[in-house]
């Protein structure tokens, strides 16, 4: 009778780990501030782990050429299963050492850099204490690295084409900057013509109106730009490099499906309705106009006339309309109001032009000069703290409390720039948040003004916030720059590896994670009754992990176990 054990004893199958622990001297930065030999000796004597072999060494500058070669050779010849490097900040050299691992058989995610420079030697003067802390940190790092798992990059094919929503000056500029033989642009415009608002603007710079017309011609002639007029965006699904978009024609309700790798939102803005402010009351027959109507008159007929056909002999240009209500300055109105003052002066040198303003905003290069000129030309600038109009009768209170009343032939209001009416709907479609004023929210004012929290969706022009034509074009070029460098035809995109995954065995599909994901990276798989993470969209922020009561989510490379063990060991 033969008896066989169904399996060998588990003992024989245990993994033996061999961990390389390399401490960089970093010249005097580390070696001069801690007792390195003591650290190495203590680490070598660690008997915390059964079945784990530690190899502990030090080196001068691991980030130097010879240093990197040394490390690569050490990994290869020792056959390390894990690597810990005690050195500087990950910001400096995490990628350096990861690249070294990539040259060997050691998966770069089975390595960890431990910061004993910025966190220890650069902040602790006492050598003994610094030594103690550095030792504890590295000890924690060893515990952590032993719980890390291999992770692999999953390169994705991408589509280099771009969808531009909006055919105004920003959209056209973006389209022209992007289009090429190997990259098509789909330019979608909801009205029946290109040009947006800018087409109506009379020149600030000589021939500005022609700039817009020239752009329109270029766009129409560019064979790599496919133009959709009278078209809406219906649905958008996907992520950077792989968007699937459905367009609907407003004329015949026909749908077109397109694929693109990036989306540029150039949907422009609208003007605040002065009637929504308590300060301005006028009827249709009054000679009260918004600035854009006057621009149209000047750019169209070359003159701004009253309804009677006469030119006005006095005009009030009122700045900051709606500024209090909206609680932001639109930044461009003072500039163009001075331009309009100049036009009025041109058409009637004796005209009385009075500009009422709360604050003057003159950020453009030649604004100051134009202001000086306007004053010299006889334009009256009055700073007010309160103003209201009834028809063309203006009542105001100056900063010093002096009140005044004046009647004018014509009143021109400079309303604040507002988000356009379909901003909210589009924001929903693209899962892009809006800022406090209702414009599309950029990632960061300074470091990333054109990006949004949905990677691959960019905002340009006044859809982002109030600005003039030249700034709008800058934004358009900036977004094109980002797309040109990130979505390279023929090259794959490597999404973030350290993302969150959901363990199917534990997930009950309650949707907590879905609701708190700001990137829209989690979706519900109803057939399995669970939630699933789209790893291409996930940024590994961990919001979802915090929301799951059962711990069914694991953020790769930052699991609870890894973090707990590191802390436990470091604090021993």
Partner 1 sequence: MLMRRYHLMSSITIDTSASRKIKELLKFLLESGKIDAAVTMRKIPENNSYDLALITNASNLDEAVPVVPVMTVNAGQVLSSISTSGKKMAVVLKPCELRAFVELVKREQGSFENLLTISHTCGGVFPLELVEKGQIEELLPKYEKNVSKGEVPANTRDTCRACEHFIPMNADITVSVAGECESGKGCMMYFNTEKAEKFTEGFAGERSEQKFDPSVLQKTLDARLAEKEKLFSSTKKDGPGLDGLLDLFGKCVGCHGCSNVCPICYCLLCDFESANFDYNLPYFEEHLSRRGALRLPPDTIFFHLGRLTHMSFSCVGCGMCSDVCPVGIPVAAVFKKTGEKTAAIFDYVPGRDVEESIPVMVYKEEELSDIG
Partner 2 sequence: MTDTERKGAVLPVAKEPGDTVLDFLRMAMTKEAADAVILPMKVPSGDSYAWILMNDISLLDDAVPIVPTMPVQGAKALRSLTRKGPGNLKVIAVMRPCEIRAAMELSKLGQVHSENLILATYDCPGAVQLQKYVDDPAGGDERFSGMLKKGNPDDSAKSVCHYCENFSIFDSDIHFGYLGLSEKEVLLVPGSGKGTEFLEELGLDLKKDLSSWEKGIEEIRADRVKTRKNSFEETEIQLRDIDGLLSVFANCIGCHNCQSACPICYCRLCYFDSETAEQDPDALITAAEKRGGISLPVDRIMFHTGRMAHMSLSCVSCGQCSDACPVSIPVADVFSYVADQTQNTFEYIAGLNDGDPLPLRQFRKAELPGVHELVKDADAEVPSHE
Question: Quick one: CA dihedral 260, 265, 267, 273, positive or negative?
Answer: positive
* Nearer CB in complex with partner 2: 347/441: 441
**Applying CB under 8 A, which of residues 8, 12, 45, 47 lies at the interface with partner 1?**
47
Using alpha carbons only, give the angle 43, 49, 51 rounded to the nearest 5 degrees.
115
Count residues binding partner 2 (CB under 8 A): 28
- Choose among partner 1, partner 2, none what residue 129 binds, the Cβ cut-off being 5 to 8 Å by kind: none
| Smallest gap from residue 112 Cβ to partner 1 (A) | 22
CB of 141 to partner 2, least distance (A): 15
Q: Which is nearer to partner 2, 308 or 527 (CB)?
A: 527
Nearer Cβ to partner 1 (173/569): 569
C-beta separation of 333 from 418 below 8 A: no
Find the shortest distance in angstroms from Cβ 561 to partner 2.
6
Q: Which does 515 bind (CB under 5 to 8 A by kind): partner 1, partner 2, none?
A: partner 2
Looking at the Cβ atoms of 157 and 504, the one nearer to partner 1 is 504
Q: Interface residues for partner 2 in 514-533 (CB under 8 A)?
A: 515-516, 518, 524, 526, 529
- H or E element: which one contains 396? strand 393-398
d(CA 282, CA 251): 36
Q: Which of helix, strand or coil describes residue 29?
A: helix
Round to whole Å and give the CA distance between 39 and 58. Answer: 10
Q: Work out whether 51 is an interface residue with partner 1 (CB under 8 A).
A: no
Alpha-carbon distance of 1 to 4, in angstroms, equals 10
Q: Pick the closer one to partner 1 by CB: 509 or 520.
A: 509
Q: Does the protein bind partner 1 through residue 6 (CB under 8 A)? A: yes
Binding track, positions 360-399, relative to partner 2; x by CB under 8 A? ----------------------------------------
Structure token digits, residue 59: 């080196």
Tokens coding 152: 């692999």
**49 vs 210, beta carbon nearer partner 1:** 49
> Which one of partner 2, partner 1, none interacts with residue 504, CB within 5 to 8 A by kind?
partner 1
560 binds partner 2 (CB under 8 A): yes
**Alpha-carbon distance 360 to 524, whole Å?**
52
Residue 4 binding: pick among partner 2, partner 1, none (C-beta 5-8 Å cut-off by kind)? partner 1
- Which one-letter DSSP state was computed for residue 450? S
Q: What's the CA gap between 496 and 251, in Å, rounded?
A: 42
571 scored as a contact of partner 1 (CB under 8 A): no
CA of 281: how far to CAs of 286, 314, 482, 529, in Å?
Answer: 10, 19, 46, 58
50 binds, among partner 2, partner 1, none (CB under 5 to 8 A by kind): partner 1
Question: Does residue 16 belong to the site contacting partner 1 (CB under 8 A)?
Answer: no
Rg (CA), the chain: 32
Provide, rounded to whole angstroms, the least separation between the CB of residue 1 and partner 1.
5
Out of 437, 509, 534, 539, the residue judged to bind partner 2 by CB under 8 A = 509
| Binding flag, residue 386, partner 1 (CB under 8 A) | no
Quickly tell me which residue has 């077109």 as its tokens.
Answer: 256
Distance of CA 66 to CAs 49, 62, 63, 70, Å?
32, 8, 8, 6
Give the footprint of partner 1 on residues 504-533 (CB under 8 A): 504-506, 529
Alpha-carbon gap, residue 548 to 200, rounded angstroms: 53
- Which among 370-378, 398-406, 419-427, 542-550 is the span making contact with partner 2, rule CB under 8 A? 542-550
If one asks whether residue 559 binds partner 2 (CB under 8 A), the answer comes out as yes
* 428 is an interface residue for partner 2 by CB under 8 A: no
Contact between 510 and partner 2 by CB under 8 A: the answer reads yes
Residues 6+ apart with CB under 8 A from 439: 269, 419, 423, 463, 464, 465
Q: Is 79 in the site for partner 2 (CB under 8 A)?
A: no
Smallest separation (angstroms) from partner 2 to the CB of 331: 24
Q: Residue 429 has which token pair? A: 């479609």
**Euclidean distance between CA atoms 179 and 186, whole angstroms:** 9
Beta bridge partners of 451: 458
Residue from 5, 221, 284, 526 touching partner 1 (CB under 8 A): that is 5
Q: For residue 154, how many other CB atoms are within 10 A of its CB?
A: 12
Identified binder of partner 2 from the candidate list 310, 376, 421, 505, rule CB under 8 A: 505
CA distances from 182 to 34, 79, 216, 223 (A): 56, 45, 22, 12
How many residues bind partner 1 (CB under 8 A)? The answer is: 15
Site for partner 1 in 448-507 (CB under 8 A): 504-506
Q: Which does 10 bind (CB under 5 to 8 A by kind): partner 2, partner 1, none?
A: partner 1
- 522 - beta bridge partners? 533
Distance in angstroms (rounded) separating the CA atoms of residues 168 and 199: 8
Query: In 403-463, where does DSSP find H-type helix?
Result: 423-430
Euclidean distance between CA atoms 544 and 520, whole angstroms: 11
Q: Which stretch in 4-12, 348-356, 379-387, 511-519 sits in contact with partner 1 by CB under 8 A?
A: 4-12
Question: Choosing among partner 1, partner 2, none, which partner's interface includes residue 421 (Cβ < 5 to 8 Å by kind)?
Answer: none
Task: Name the one range near partner 2 by CB under 8 A: 63-71, 192-200, 457-465, 551-559.
Answer: 551-559
Across the chain, which distance is largest between two alpha carbons, in Å? 122
Contact call for residue 561 and partner 2 (CB under 8 A): yes
Pair 5, 16: CB distance under 8 Å: no
- Find all residues with CB under 8 Å of 311, minimum gap 6, and list them: 303, 304, 305, 347, 348, 351
- Which positions touch partner 1 (CB under 8 A)? 1-7, 10, 47-48, 50, 504-506, 529
- Which positions touch partner 2 (CB under 8 A)? 48, 505-512, 515-516, 518, 524, 526, 529, 547, 549-552, 559-561, 564-565, 568-569, 572
């Amino acid at each position: 009778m033969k008896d066989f054990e169904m399996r060998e004893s588990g003992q024989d199958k245990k993994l033996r780990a061999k961990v390389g622990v390399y401490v960089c001297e970093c010249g005097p930065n580390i070696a001069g501030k801690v007792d390195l030999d003591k650290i190495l000796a203590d680490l070598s004597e660690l008997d915390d782990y059964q079945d784990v072999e530690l190899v502990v060494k030090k080196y001068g500058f691991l980030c130097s050429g010879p240093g990197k070669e040394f490390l690569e050779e050490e990994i290869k010849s020792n056959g390390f299963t894990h690597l810990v490097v005690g050195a500087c900040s990950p910001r400096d050299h995490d990628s350096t050492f990861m690249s070294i691992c990539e040259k060997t058989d050691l998966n770069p995610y089975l390595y960890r850099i431990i910061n004993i420079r910025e966190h220890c030697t650069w902040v602790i003067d006492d050598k003994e204490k610094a030594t103690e802390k550095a030792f504890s940190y590295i000890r924690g790092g060893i515990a952590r690295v032993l719980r890390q798992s291999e992770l692999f990059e999953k390169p994705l094919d991408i589509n280099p084409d771009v969808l531009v929503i909006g055919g105004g000056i920003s959209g056209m500029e973006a389209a022209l900057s992007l289009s090429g033989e190997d990259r098509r642009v789909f330019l979608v415009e909801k009205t029946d013509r290109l040009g947006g608002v800018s087409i109506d603007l009379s020149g600030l710079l000589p021939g500005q109106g022609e700039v817009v017309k020239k752009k329109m011609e270029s766009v129409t002639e560019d064979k790599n730009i496919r133009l959709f007029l009278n078209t809406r965006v219906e649905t958008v699904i996907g992520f950077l490099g792989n968007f699937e978009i459905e367009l609907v024609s407003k004329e015949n309700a026909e749908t077109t499906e397109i694929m693109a790798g990036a989306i540029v939102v150039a949907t422009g803005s609208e003007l605040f309705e002065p009637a929504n402010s308590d300060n301005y009351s006028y009827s249709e027959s009054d000679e009260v106009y918004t600035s854009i109507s006057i621009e149209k008159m000047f750019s169209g007929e070359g003159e701004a006339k009253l309804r009677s056909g006469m030119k006005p002999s006095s005009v009030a240009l009122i700045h900051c309309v709606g500024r209090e209500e909206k609680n932001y300055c639109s930044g461009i109105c003072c500039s163009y109001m001075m331009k309009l003052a100049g036009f009025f002066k041109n058409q009637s040198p004796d005209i009385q032009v009075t500009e009422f303003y709360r604050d003057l905003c003159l950020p453009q290069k030649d604004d100051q000069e134009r202001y000086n000129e306007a004053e010299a030309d006889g334009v009256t600038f009055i700073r007010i703290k309160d103003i209201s109009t009834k028809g063309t009768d203006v009542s105001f209170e100056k900063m010093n409390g002096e009140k005044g009343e004046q009647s004018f032939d014509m009143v021109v209001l400079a309303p604040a720039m507002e988000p356009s009416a379909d901003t909210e709907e589009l924001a929903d479609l693209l899962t892009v948040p809006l800022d406090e004023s209702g414009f599309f929210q950029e990632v960061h004012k300074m470091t990333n003004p054109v990006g949004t929290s949905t990677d691959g969706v960019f905002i340009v022009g006044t859809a982002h916030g109030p600005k003039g034509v030249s700034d709008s074009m800058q934004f358009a070029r900036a977004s094109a720059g980002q797309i040109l460098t990130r979505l390279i035809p023929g090259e794959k995109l490597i999404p973030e590896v350290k993302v969150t995954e959901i363990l199917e065995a534990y997930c009950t599909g309650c949707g907590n994670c879905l609701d708190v994901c700001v990137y829209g990276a989690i979706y519900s798989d109803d057939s399995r009754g669970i939630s699933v993470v789209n790893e291409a969209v996930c940024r590994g922020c961990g919001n979802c992990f915090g929301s799951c009561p059962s711990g069914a989510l694991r953020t790769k490379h930052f699991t609870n176990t890894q973090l707990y063990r590191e802390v436990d060991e470091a604090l021993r």
